[in-house]
Amino acid sequence: KQEVTQIPAALSVPEGENLVLNCSFTDSAIYNLQWFRQDPGKGLTSLLLIQSSQREQTSGRLNASLDKSSGRSTLYIAASQPGDSATYLCAVISDMRFGAGTRLTVKP
């Protein structure tokens, strides 16, 4: 059974800092992986989707990488802003499994 882990569970950084969120999965035979953000009391907003044949995807200040052989994905956020404060979740879509999320706080 696929297990998805996100470390750290919570992260607090000052505005402007670059940061990396980590996602690991136990079964490397994945089809794709998706990163989401969730604001308090809200649903999930898709950020980036990486197919298994890709190594990374970029959208604005966000860059997600995928290394199937090591069972890892990272979400890189450049020049963080207070509006980036949210919980970030990764999901192995083909196995319908989510990590528990990293709660990010960006302080002005």
Partner 1 sequence: GAGVSQSPSNKVTEKGKDVELRCDPISGHTALYWYRQRLGQGLEFLIYFQGNSAPDKSGLPSDRFSAERTGESVSTLTIQRTQQEDSAVYLCASSLDPGRGYTFGSGTRLTVV
Residues making contact with partner 1 (CB under 8 A): 31-32, 34, 36, 42-46, 49, 51, 89, 91, 93-94, 96-101
Beta strands in the chain (DSSP E): 4-7, 10-14, 19-25, 32-38, 44-51, 56-59, 62-67, 72-77, 86-92, 97-98, 102-107
**Shortest spacing between CB 74 and partner 1, in angstroms:** 18
**Shortest spacing between CB 8 and partner 1, in angstroms:** 14
Q: Considering beta carbons, is residue 1 or 14 the nearer one to partner 1?
A: 1
